[in-house]
Homo-oligomer: A and B are copies of this chain.
Amino acid sequence: MGTSASKRLSQTGLKHCTLWKADRSPACRAVMMALDSMNLSITEVDINIDKGEHRTPEMLVLNPLQTLPVFKDRELVLSDSHAICTYLAGRYCDSGRLLPKDPGGRSLVDQHMHYNSGTLYPRFRAAAYPILYENCNFVMPQQIADIECAYSDLESMLLGRTWFGGSWPTLSDIVFASTISTLNILVPIDKNRYPRLSSWLFRVSEELFFVTANRKGLSEFSRRIGELSQVQQS
């Protein structure tokens, strides 16, 4: 993340903030995309999940739930990626472009985020974790059906819209981009059944924040899944 010199030059440095992350985690990549879309640079610490580095005594003090990402801004510690994204936008991004300031606009972004945490992310975990951690080498039929059902929901949410948030990308699109691009590796999105979702994924994958902060971790996830499973890579 954040490797291009031109990108770095325009970034606002927040040295008092730290993010502990693993690139292959969609939740971590959502925060990384949010940071890049706001041109914010913070201290980043790579955690090797396979080596259990998220369970060291130091990390358990920060986050007893043993999940990533973990974020710290002076005394404030957060471990939910959605809360980290909205905190960063509310605290360090005045424009309201990514997270509307009016209660109505904000509520729609909140609703998308809760669809991500309550539906998309549990379905990602149910499909990917047996492959990553339990010697399963395929996505089970029930998990495929649940993910297809979510694609159908998302297709209906995009009716008459270019972006989930409306006319430009917001935190809704950033958070969805991390999870949906990852689900697309496990269960490829059929462009005939989900034309709006398929077009949106192409569109969002051309955004600079996606290129700088999602592609590398997504490739890492794809490679790891390819090694462990018989999932047809899209």
Residues of A near any B CB (own CB < 8 A)? 64-65, 73, 76, 78-80, 82-84, 86-87, 90-91, 103-104, 106-108, 110-111, 113-115, 117-118, 121-122, 153, 156
Please state if B111 and A79 are interface contacts (CB–CB under 8 Å): yes
Given that A64-B156, A115-B80, A121-B118 are contacting pairs, would A91 and B104 also be in contact in the complex, using a CB cutoff of 8 Å? yes
Given that A64-B156, A65-B153, A122-B122 are contacting pairs, would A86 and B113 also be in contact in the complex, using a CB cutoff of 8 Å? no
Residue in contact with A107 in the complex, picked from B83, B117, B121, CB distance below 8 Å: B83
Please state if B91 and A110 are interface contacts (CB–CB under 8 Å): no
Please state if B103 and A83 are interface contacts (CB–CB under 8 Å): no
Please state if A114 and B113 are interface contacts (CB–CB under 8 Å): yes
What is the count of identical protomers in the complex?
A: 2
Shortest A181–chain B CB gap in Å is 19
Residues of the B chain whose Cβ atoms lie less than 8 Å from the Cβ of A103: 86-87, 90-91
**Bound Cα distance from A194 to B197, whole angstroms:** 44
Instruction: Across the A-B interface, give the 4 residue pairs with the lowest CB-CB distance, nearest first.
Output: A90-B103, A117-B118, A87-B107, A83-B111
Residues of the B chain whose Cβ atoms lie less than 8 Å from the Cβ of A91: 103-104
Residue of B nearest to A79 (CB): B111
**Bound Cα distance from A83 to B107, whole angstroms:** 5
Shortest A80–chain B CB gap in Å is 4
Residues of the B chain whose Cβ atoms lie less than 8 Å from the Cβ of A115: 80
Residues of the B chain whose Cβ atoms lie less than 8 Å from the Cβ of A114: 80, 82-83, 113-114, 117
**Bound Cα distance from A111 to B78, whole angstroms:** 7
Residue of B nearest to A153 (CB): B65
Residue in contact with A104 in the complex, picked from B65, B76, B80, B121, CB distance below 8 Å: B76
A-B contact pairs, 7 of them (CB 8 A): A79-B111, A80-B115, A86-B110, A87-B106, A91-B104, A114-B117, A117-B118
Given that A87-B103, A91-B103, A118-B117 are contacting pairs, would A110 and B65 also be in contact in the complex, using a CB cutoff of 8 Å? no
Shortest A148–chain B CB gap in Å is 15
Shortest A70–chain B CB gap in Å is 12
